[in-house]
Chain A
Amino acid sequence: MSLLRLFAWRPLRRRPLRTLLGASSVALGVALFVSADVSNTTVLRAFEETGERLGGRAKLRVTFASGAGVDEAAIGRIEELPGVVAAPVLQRSVSLSELKDGPVLVLGVDFWKDRLLRLYDFKVPERELPAYVATAFRSDGIVVTRRFAERHGLKTGSPLVLDAPGGRARLVVTGIIENEGPARIFGGNFMAMSLASAQKHFARPGLVDQIDVAPPDGTAPESLRPRLAAALGPAYSVQPILRRSAVLEDALSRVRALVVVSVVALVVGLFIVYNSVSISVVERLRDFAILRSVGALRRQVLNLVLVEWTVIGFVGSAAGLAAGYWLSSVLIALSAKSANALMLSIDVREVVLTLPTAVGAIASGTLVSFLAALVPALESMRIPPAGLLGEASSPGRDAPRYFRSFAAGAALIGAASALVLGFYLELPPFGGLAATVLIFVGVALVLPQMTIWISKAARPALRRILRIEGRLAADNVAKFPARTALTTIALGGALSMMVASQSFLASLKASADAWMAEAFPFDLSISGTDMSTQLYSPARFPDSLAARAAAVPGVHSAYTVAMHHQPYRDQEVLIFAIDMEGLHRMHRERGITGRMTPLADADFRGRLVRGEAVVASENFMNRYGAPAGSTIELQTSEGPRKFQIAQAVEDYSWPSGAIIMEREIYRRLWKDDLIAYIDLRVEPGARVDEVRARLSEELKGTHTAFLYSPEDFRRIGDATLGEAFRLADVQVVIAVFIGFLGILNTLLISVLRRTREIGLLRAVGATRRQIRRTVMIESLLMAASAGAIGVAAGVVGAALPLRLHTVQVTGYWIPLTIPWTWLGAAFAGALILGAAASILPARRAAKLNILDAIAYE
């Protein structure tokens, strides 16, 4: 213990910056790992808990395979199965325009059936419950949660206005549920009403959205599922209640990508600790030699170093665990927001840090430190005490060569290229991320030898441009090429993530903008969805509203769009049912361009209008392997129907894929008269904002309607994409910071290793400024290389692995748009970071006492 205190603790205290750098680099790696894992677990747990609270005892959900409403009569067939409990539900997420409290989930239920599945706590004695329920679930009544009521000062008898397809429904609060069961989800934004009342207000007479089913006690849901399916027939779909959607998977895939980043961050942390340990061992070689010469065993000295850095690793890991827990709350909010924007499904109540994650994070951080310390500690222990105590008079050795590492790295890059090519040739997919990791490791192996070559090639130019300082800086970066290479790859890797994410974002935005510019011929679109909280909601209007809107002065023409979530191959695709002739007229008036050209063909239009064909989004085609000309089968209210895909179009509406069809066909086959959008064109010469104001005025009395221009859609789309990519921003900031620490660490060590050389330079006439310039140029050389790698790898990453990964998850095949401004910013940012990282080491170098430096060993 006293050995540790004398030879480990004291040196650590004497070098607080190095100790802090080592500990914080481990902490950052662990923080990223913890935040990614905790976010993933929490979002999944929240999804499950939300589903369980909402579903209660129900484990299966029966819907009509067409996605259209289920006939209430089906419940009788379900209840014929012994012991099965079933409850019909009409479910809508609605907005409350008067209360402005985000979307609220409203359940229309048959209370006495539903209470067998879900927990409703009214704080009413059981014998008084029938009377209470009779009032609470009366036709103009609505039941709210205690939290919602308290937030808005509502009491029994308070009026409440709900935005419904038939217009605003003026209801009365007739009951308050305590905060149990479904009342705990979405911050209390949950309401219930009688099924009949919901059918009336949401214009679904005689229909329910689903029948929730609880299996008999002791029966597994999976064993009930086939029996249920057999009893109901193929027109019905029976699914587990906790079925993950593509939207959720998309959000989770972004969180999971963080795990890969965190592994890279831990590798960089390992390298920083290795650097710190190496130099700390080199500094104390004489101490260790004295210890060895007075009888310390190799093992004792080895333990000294290992214990010291394992403890630092442990402390760093513990700090990383705390930081990661905090960071995960930010990531979770972003993930939940991006998933909920498309589908209200996640309500995060608490951040879930599991014991295995906590133990794993601390163990991996500590192990990384231990391993990083092991190599330099073992190396130093091999030197005999006499060698350590001797004077160093040799001027040093030539830089080592890394031909074998170069060859191995080149082979890995080749393998990664083959993997990427494999995607294009449609060989079995291994994941774009595997290619990314191979490229990362390959570049790391290739770079040391490249550093030597580049440094050699750049010396004359640097000597000419930056004089002797440039020449010395070029030599310095090549003196320890592996260290330089790892530093460069750490920052370059972080920058490449930034460039890749921004390239991809720019590509998505450019594609989405181009799509909207061509696909949206209208000046204004009326929707029931408040897109500041959700892109799609079940808010609908009656068909008649279109005629009212079209009659408003200044409106030239209108067409209607219905929207429907259609179950398809275990996913939900989006059906856009459009009045095709109306759409075509509006396109013709504006001038048909690009992807809308086929609409001009009367024969093509005719096939759509007659219901022989539909148009599919490209991601539908990619996800389900349904190219143009192929036939798909969709479940409708009249049973399964086949449609030929007339054309696949670029469309970014929905990550699971979209189908565009004639509205009249949809209305007939799905028995759905409601519309989601009314798209309008204003009279030539009329001002859009004036027409918009007149439409608002016309509709405000009866409906909550939101008016959007194509520009609004573009803005909302861009903002939503930006939100989805904010996760990437968080990881990039951390990764760039780790890269910055890497440069700082390398420069500090470089200055320390060259102390004597710097002393000599000062003795023969180098000014402090020249020494500072040398260190800064060294830093800028590394940073510029990192910037170049970041820009190149980022664009390649966006063009290949990231794009392929997106194809796998969403089916979107995005044409690459290179964000030149971001490329410039990444390169300039690298230089700024390099300059900033050099300040402290440069000052240290310039301030060295010449006599001490010359005497330094």
Chain B
Amino acid sequence: MIEFRDVRKIYLQGTREVAALDGVTLHITPGGFTCLMGPSGSGKSTFLHLAGGLDLPTSGDVLIEGQPTRDWNDDALTLLRRRRLGFVFQFFNLIPSLTVAENVALPLLLEGVSAAASDLRVRPLLERVGLSDRSQQAPAGLSGGEMQRTAIARALVADPAIVLADEPTGNLDRATGRGILEILHSVAKRDGRTVVIVTHDPSAAEYADRVVRLRDGRIESDGSP
């Protein structure tokens, strides 16, 4: 599903080269709930960005569904994100001028799907995340947990095979965070999607099939929680 083959990602800090990922090789199989953990600066977010086609490796290969991302142009990667991947961000990233339903429908709207057709997809998702009664509300009126549930619904609306979440509980209180993790867990287990989350939250490991720990851009450990 997602495969990293000896991936290095170098960033320039001034004139100094810093390896965010340093020879990472990893294979994430379909349908699992993988948790990427590690201290700040260990390379977790870089891993997620490369896995989501938001960035390209300096060397090595990142393969999504068997295709190396470096072979794809910007449009192809964009369409991949739109159709096959779902993203959940720490800071929700909802568009304030759109309603909750429109925010959820965004990938479909970008695809040119009609309002009526997208509505058929959005309604059950909002029901699933418990926001049916909030569908016509603006994001400004939602709580942090509701915003993140909206973001999860948006990540699922295009029926993606892979859902990537970057610190999805990082901006929420503990109880709300657990609720978000339970939804993501059900996305993996009930829907059979591949879920990869990057987190500091140790409680996330309780939901994961697999926990990969990174340190200084390398895999420190990889196994069951």
Q: Which residue of A lies closest to B142 (CB)?
A: A395
Complex formed: what's the CA distance from A769 to B82 in Å? 14
Does A389 reach chain B (CB closer than 8 Å)?
A: no
In the complex, chain A residues whose CB is within 8 Å of the CB of B74: 767-768
Does A463 reach chain B (CB closer than 8 Å)?
A: yes
Does B117 reach chain A (CB closer than 8 Å)?
A: no
Complex formed: what's the CA distance from A767 to B79 in Å? 8
Q: Which residue of A lies closest to B171 (CB)?
A: A393
In the complex, chain B residues whose CB is within 8 Å of the CB of A463: 115
Among A328-336, A754-762, A798-806, the stretch that binds chain B is A754-762
Contact of B111 among A398, A756, A765, A854 (CB under 8 A): A765
Q: Which residue of A lies closest to B75 (CB)?
A: A767
Does B92 reach chain A (CB closer than 8 Å)?
A: yes
Does A138 reach chain B (CB closer than 8 Å)?
A: no
Q: Say whether A395 contacts B96, CB under 8 Å.
A: yes
Contact of A762 among B78, B83, B112, B144 (CB under 8 A): B78
Q: Say whether B106 contacts A764, CB under 8 Å.
A: yes
Within 8 A of A (CB), among B72-89: 74-75, 78-79, 81-83, 87, 89
Contact of A765 among B49, B83, B139, B171 (CB under 8 A): B83
Please list the residues of chain A having a beta carbon within 8 angstroms of any beta carbon in chain B.
391, 393-399, 463, 467-468, 471-472, 475-476, 478-479, 756-757, 759-770, 850-851, 854
Q: Say whether A767 contacts B78, CB under 8 Å.
A: yes
Does B175 reach chain A (CB closer than 8 Å)?
A: no
Within 8 A of A (CB), among B97-135: 97-98, 102, 106-107, 109-112, 115
Q: Say whether A764 contacts B81, CB under 8 Å.
A: yes
Within 8 A of A (CB), among B15-48: none
Q: List 26 A-B contacts (CB under 8 A).
A: A394-B140, A395-B94, A395-B95, A395-B139, A395-B147, A396-B139, A396-B140, A398-B138, A468-B106, A468-B109, A468-B110, A471-B109, A472-B95, A475-B95, A475-B98, A479-B97, A757-B95, A759-B93, A760-B89, A763-B81, A764-B82, A764-B87, A764-B107, A765-B82, A770-B110, A851-B55
11 further A-B pairs in the complex, CB-CB below 8 A; given A761-B95, A764-B81: A395-B95, A467-B109, A468-B106, A479-B97, A761-B110, A764-B87, A765-B158, A767-B110, A851-B54, A851-B55, A854-B93
In the complex, chain A residues whose CB is within 8 Å of the CB of B154: 764
Q: Say whether B95 contacts A766, CB under 8 Å.
A: no
Please list the residues of chain B having a beta carbon within 8 angstroms of any beta carbon in chain A.
49, 52, 54-55, 74-75, 78-79, 81-83, 87, 89, 91-98, 102, 106-107, 109-112, 115, 138-140, 144, 147, 154, 158, 171
Knowing A397-B140, A468-B110, the reply to whether A851 touches B49 (Cβ < 8 A) is: yes
In the complex, chain A residues whose CB is within 8 Å of the CB of B111: 765
Complex formed: what's the CA distance from A141 to B186 in Å? 113
Residue of A393, A760, A769 ringed by the most chain B CB atoms within 10 A: A760
Complex formed: what's the CA distance from A396 to B55 in Å? 27
Complex formed: what's the CA distance from A398 to B98 in Å? 10
Q: Say whether A760 contacts B93, CB under 8 Å.
A: yes
Q: Say whether B54 contacts A763, CB under 8 Å.
A: yes
Q: Say whether B97 contacts A475, CB under 8 Å.
A: yes
Knowing A396-B140, A398-B140, A463-B115, the reply to whether A766 touches B94 (Cβ < 8 A) is: no
In the complex, chain A residues whose CB is within 8 Å of the CB of B140: 394-398
How far in angstroms is the closest Cβ of chain B from A758?
Answer: 10
Q: Which residue of B lies closest to A478 (CB)?
A: B97
Complex formed: what's the CA distance from A764 to B86 in Å? 7
Complex formed: what's the CA distance from A760 to B81 in Å? 11
Q: Is the interface of B mostly helix, strand, loop or mixed?
A: helix
Q: Say whether A766 contacts B93, CB under 8 Å.
A: no
In the complex, chain A residues whose CB is within 8 Å of the CB of B112: 467
How far in angstroms is the closest Cβ of chain B from A53?
Answer: 68
How far in angstroms is the closest Cβ of chain A from B74?
Answer: 6
Complex formed: what's the CA distance from A767 to B54 in Å? 12
Q: Which residue of A lies closest to B55 (CB)?
A: A851
Q: Which residue of B lies closest to A759 (CB)?
A: B93
Q: Say whether A765 contacts B55, CB under 8 Å.
A: no
Complex formed: what's the CA distance from A399 to B83 in Å? 32
Q: Say whether B92 contacts A763, CB under 8 Å.
A: no
In the complex, chain B residues whose CB is within 8 Å of the CB of A770: 110
Complex formed: what's the CA distance from A397 to B141 in Å? 9
Q: Which residue of A lies closest to B84 (CB)?
A: A765
In the complex, chain A residues whose CB is within 8 Å of the CB of B98: 475
In the complex, chain B residues whose CB is within 8 Å of the CB of A763: 52, 54, 81, 87, 89, 93
In the complex, chain A residues whose CB is within 8 Å of the CB of B87: 763-764
Complex formed: what's the CA distance from A475 to B99 in Å? 11
Residue of A475, A762, A764 ringed by the most chain B CB atoms within 10 A: A764
How far in angstroms is the closest Cβ of chain A from B55?
Answer: 6
Residue of A391, A393, A399 ringed by the most chain B CB atoms within 10 A: A393
Complex formed: what's the CA distance from A768 to B79 in Å? 11
In the complex, chain B residues whose CB is within 8 Å of the CB of A398: 96, 138, 140
In the complex, chain A residues whose CB is within 8 Å of the CB of B92: 393, 395
Residue of A763, A767, A769, A854 ringed by the most chain B CB atoms within 10 A: A763
Please give me the 5 A-B residue pairs with the lowest Cβ-Cβ distance, nearest first.
Answer: A765-B82, A396-B96, A475-B97, A468-B109, A760-B93
Complex formed: what's the CA distance from A467 to B113 in Å? 9
Q: Which residue of A lies closest to B141 (CB)?
A: A398
How far in angstroms is the closest Cβ of chain B from A843?
Answer: 14
Complex formed: what's the CA distance from A479 to B171 in Å? 26
Complex formed: what's the CA distance from A399 to B97 in Å? 8
Q: Which residue of B lies closest to A855 (CB)?
A: B91
Q: Say whether B78 contacts A765, CB under 8 Å.
A: yes
Q: Say whether B78 contacts A756, CB under 8 Å.
A: no
Q: Say whether A760 contacts B55, CB under 8 Å.
A: no
Q: Which residue of B lies closest to A763 (CB)?
A: B87
Complex formed: what's the CA distance from A65 to B164 in Å? 96
How far in angstroms is the closest Cβ of chain B from A795?
Answer: 34
In the complex, chain A residues whose CB is within 8 Å of the CB of B110: 468, 761, 764-767, 770
Complex formed: what's the CA distance from A468 to B92 in Å? 20
How far in angstroms is the closest Cβ of chain B from A854?
Answer: 7
Q: Say whether B95 contacts A765, CB under 8 Å.
A: no
Complex formed: what's the CA distance from A467 to B114 in Å? 9
Complex formed: what's the CA distance from A768 to B89 in Å? 21
Q: Say whether B81 contacts A765, CB under 8 Å.
A: yes
Q: Which residue of B lies closest to A765 (CB)?
A: B82
In the complex, chain A residues whose CB is within 8 Å of the CB of B78: 762, 765-768
In the complex, chain B residues whose CB is within 8 Å of the CB of A769: 75
Knowing A395-B147, A468-B106, the reply to whether A765 touches B79 (Cβ < 8 A) is: yes
Complex formed: what's the CA distance from A395 to B94 in Å? 6
Complex formed: what's the CA distance from A769 to B79 in Å? 12
Q: Which residue of B lies closest to A760 (CB)?
A: B93
Q: Which residue of B lies closest to A757 (CB)?
A: B95
Residue of B78, B98, B109, B154 ringed by the most chain A CB atoms within 10 A: B78
In the complex, chain B residues whose CB is within 8 Å of the CB of A394: 140
Complex formed: what's the CA distance from A854 to B90 in Å? 10
Complex formed: what's the CA distance from A664 to B29 in Å? 112
In the complex, chain A residues whose CB is within 8 Å of the CB of B107: 764-765
In the complex, chain A residues whose CB is within 8 Å of the CB of B96: 395-398
Complex formed: what's the CA distance from A768 to B110 in Å? 12
Q: Which residue of B lies closest to A467 (CB)?
A: B112
Complex formed: what's the CA distance from A763 to B92 in Å? 12
In the complex, chain A residues whose CB is within 8 Å of the CB of B171: 393
Complex formed: what's the CA distance from A462 to B111 in Å? 16
Complex formed: what's the CA distance from A760 to B86 in Å? 12
Q: Which residue of B lies closest to A394 (CB)?
A: B140
Q: Say whether B83 contacts A850, CB under 8 Å.
A: no
Complex formed: what's the CA distance from A212 to B89 in Å? 90
Complex formed: what's the CA distance from A393 to B74 in Å? 29
Q: Which residue of B lies closest to A463 (CB)?
A: B115
Complex formed: what's the CA distance from A757 to B140 in Å? 15
Complex formed: what's the CA distance from A804 to B154 in Å? 60
How far in angstroms is the closest Cβ of chain A from B167?
Answer: 12
How far in angstroms is the closest Cβ of chain B from A38?
Answer: 47
Complex formed: what's the CA distance from A766 to B82 in Å? 7
How far in angstroms is the closest Cβ of chain A from B116?
Answer: 12
